[in-house]
Amino acid sequence: MSGDAVPADAALTLLVARAFSGADSSDAQAILTAARRASYPDGAHLCREGEPADTFFLIIQGAVVLTQHLGETTRTVAVREAGEFFGEMGVLEGAPRSATATAVGQVIVLEVGETAFRRILADRPGLALAIVRGLVANVRAADRGALVELQSANLALRSALESVHAAQAALLQKERLEHELEIAGRVQRSLLPASFEPLLGFEFAGRNQPARHVGGDLYDVIRLGGGRVALVMADVSDKGVQAALFMAVTRTLFLAHATHGDGPAAVAERVHAGLREIAPESDMFVTAFYGELDTATGELGYVRAGHPEALLLGPDGSWARLSARGRFLGALDGFAVEARIAAFPLGGVLVAYSDGLTDALDASGVAFPLGGLMSVVEAHRHRPAADIADAVLDAVDRHRGDSPVTDDLSILVVRRAAIPD
């Protein structure tokens, strides 16, 4: 800051007179006589909030921004320009500065000390009235600014409250949905048998790990009577609640037709027809492995409706892939599958699985290999069927690591004792 006495000139006298509505040139001259001229560079503080108020300022060049601290934020109170004044309130009240004044660009002001300012007001009532009028105008302008800020803050607060309410509603909806999905998941898991009773040297085990709360995979072992059982492994094309409902319908159709069918091909055709009748407009479909096993002879008749080939491990360590032509169930009219027969040897292990198992990716994007599945089964072939199923899913989980499950994982294991009962 730099300062010196104020030389009188007509232009400056006129500017000072205009700053105080109702003041005359003699009033302006009284101000000029008592004032000193001061210059401040851009960003300089003319006065600071909380400091003693001992100076009145009249701006003759540039602009000054007045700010206040509110907690951790800074609020702009007003901007004063050439021909306007500030600092009068603190001088009149004898109170500390209520705001900080900062130069915007190069600023030149007239500064009048407290003693001189009070003497001028006492000697010149017209000037005092003009300053009071200016003070009232400044207060009103500040009040209007504060009201606008308050209204803006209220609008922002209302918007924030509406956002909070919307977020709370969304959270409640999400919690309700998750609760409903958890119930749906429990219902679906109740549809998948937890265990199966052994029959004539055969034992059975199924496992399912859905990608979401509910999934679309299905496995089952259905008693047909006379030592015969139906083996079902199926996979609905979608995931989630819709797939779970479609899965439940598919299981019901297999249960209904397996006990009254004329072999695997006929059962598959009737399930397909049932899906088309129940959901003619749906584009969802089901891939399936369906077999009928005679536990007395070990003969296994089966069909493969677009599903991954089931694998049959022989007692000598050899593998047979149960291949057969056939397309998926549902979605499209027209259906045909090829029925085949395989011999299930003593000491053999059958593995049917959904493609989610061999599509499970590790962190590098590498899928769980079919050879890995076969190795796990070979290593556990002499253990119960449940242990084999658990070992396979454990191996998939180890391969996957922290990568998410993107498709339902299911496996059905059938193991035949090496020695006949």
Beta strands in 210-254 (DSSP E): 217-225, 228-236
DSSP 21: T
CATH architecture of the domain with range 193-416: 4-Layer Sandwich (3.60)
Bridge-partner residues for 65, per DSSP?
79, 102
- Say whether pLDDT at 37 is over 90: yes
Check residue 152 and give its pLDDT. 61
Distance, in Å, from the CA atom of 341 to the CA atom of 131, rounded to the nearest integer, reads: 109
Top-level class of domain 2-151: mainly beta
* Percent of the chain at pLDDT exceeding 90: 52
Give which of 285, 269, 291 is closest to 412, Cα–Cα.
291
Q: Which of 241, 245, 233 is nearest to 193 (CA)?
A: 233
Q: pLDDT averaged over the chain?
A: 86
Sheet strands (E) in 157-216: 202-209
Answer whether residue 410 shows pLDDT above 80: yes
Q: What share of the chain is helix, strand, coil (3-state, %, to 5)?
A: 40, 30, 30
- Average pLDDT score over residue span 70-92: 87
Going from N- to C-terminal start, the domains of the chain cover: 2-151, 193-416
DSSP states along 36-68: EEEEE-TT-EEE-TTS---EEEEEEEEEEEEEE
Residues in contact with 72: Cβ distance below 8 Å, sequence separation at least 6, in sequence order: none
pLDDT value for 268 = 96
Report which listed range, 143-147, 224-228, 244-248, is most confident.
Answer: 224-228
> How far, in Å, CA of 146 to CA of 98, rounded?
15
Q: Give the integer Cα–Cα distance in Å for 401 and 391.
A: 15
Query: Which has more confidence, 239 or 247?
Result: 247
Instruction: Kindly report, residue by residue over 171-209, the tens digit of the pLDDT.
Output: 666 666 555 545 555 555 556 777 899 999 999 999 988
- Predicted structure pTM score: 0.59
Amino acid code (one letter) for 295: T
The predicted structure's pLDDT at residue 179: 52
Q: Which pair of structure tokens corresponds to residue 97?
A: 């500065």
pLDDT tens digits for range 43-79: 999 999 999 999 999 999 999 999 998 888 888 888 9
Give, as one character, the DSSP assignment of residue 287.
Answer: E
Q: What is the pLDDT of residues 283-329, one digit of tens each?
A: 889 999 999 999 999 999 999 999 999 999 999 999 999 999 999 99
Tell which residue, 295, 394, 385, 302, has the closest CA to residue 345: 295
CA distance 375 to 369: 10
The answer on pLDDT for 30 being more than 80 is yes
Give the SS3 label for residue 30.
helix
